[in-house]
Amino acid sequence: MKPGEIISEGPCKQCQCVDNFYSCHDNCMVTEEDITKQDRPMVFHEKITTQVYLTPSVSPPPLCTEDRYIYLIQGDDPLPNSAFSASSVLSASFAPKYARLDSKITEKSGGSWAPQYTNQ
């Protein structure tokens, strides 16, 4: 998805990525009116529901420059090692926590995650 691009996720839901934040809004509004009809001696009450489609008014977002990036996995507040998991692991040296992009080969780490089974 391009920054600032508007994506429709349904007939009334539109989403947009602005400043590395993905947000959505419901652009359908439901209004109800209480109408009373009098025909002869009988009184009827009925609710009428009207859907109004609103057109979003968004301005182009600012340019995404590298100094505005928020590094979610390896940034100032990185994901904890417990956030990484796998269904199998070749050995402790190839644990899921070593799947980070900046992992280095050390005495304890193979520098990446590797599965125990590769038959699928």
| pLDDT tens digits, 63-84 | 778 887 888 888 888 889 899 8
Identity at 63, one-letter amino acid code: L
**What percentage of the chain carries pLDDT values higher than 90?**
8
Q: Assess if residue 45 is contained within a domain.
A: no
Q: Assess if residue 90 is contained within a domain.
A: yes
Number of domains in the chain: 1
Global pTM reads 0.40
Q: Assess if residue 76 is contained within a domain.
A: yes
Q: Assess if residue 58 is contained within a domain.
A: no
Please list the ranges in the chain whose pLDDT falls under 50.
none
Per the structure, the complete domain to which residue 83 belongs is given by 71-120
Instruction: Spell out the long-range contacts of 47-56 with Cβ–Cβ below 8 A and sequence spacing 24 or more.
Output: 52/28, 53/12, 53/27, 53/28, 54/27, 54/28, 54/29, 55/27, 56/6, 56/14, 56/25, 56/27
